[in-house]
Amino acid sequence: ELPFRTPKGHVVMNDQDPMAIWVDGGSASASEVLAGSLHDNCRAVVMGDVSFGKGLVQAVYGLKNGAGLVLTVAKYLTPSGTDIQGKGIVPDIKGDVPLSFLTLSSDTSKVDFQEVSEMLNMCKVPSPH
């Protein structure tokens, strides 16, 4: 199976298209930051299972004796201030992908995201804590 490729300059998605993002226990760190940001800004519906919960940023410092020191230097929070460390991103829609999301429109190059659109239309951007 060949990967999907778009022609150069072709816009795949604009800021008006509905979007869903999939997370599960294998989603960690940067993918959780992305999912949390898209969700908190009412840009995407999060689907799947609770993500891993890797919300700490660590740096490794070499010591003179050849050992290393791992030090936590920051913590990821979503734009609304939600701490994901040890908790993960909780999806809006849990479990397997609902069949309604996989229904193709009459143009078989597009997926019908009516349900995602409806959820995003009801979304309100939360205030930071």
Q: Which residues contact 37 (CB under 8 A, 6 or more apart)?
A: 43, 78, 79
**Is the predicted pLDDT of residue 109 greater than 80, yes or no?**
no
Catalytic residue from among 29, 37, 80, 117? 29
User: Is 29 designated active site?
Assistant: yes
Nearest-CA neighbor of 115 among 96, 93, 89, 90? 93
**Is the predicted pLDDT of residue 10 greater than 80, yes or no?**
no
Fold of 20-120: 2-enoyl-CoA Hydratase; Chain A, domain 1 (3.90.226)
Q: Residue ranges of the domains in the chain?
A: 20-120
User: Is 109 designated active site?
Assistant: no
pTM of the complete model beyond 0.75 = no
Catalytic residue from among 31, 54, 75, 105? 54
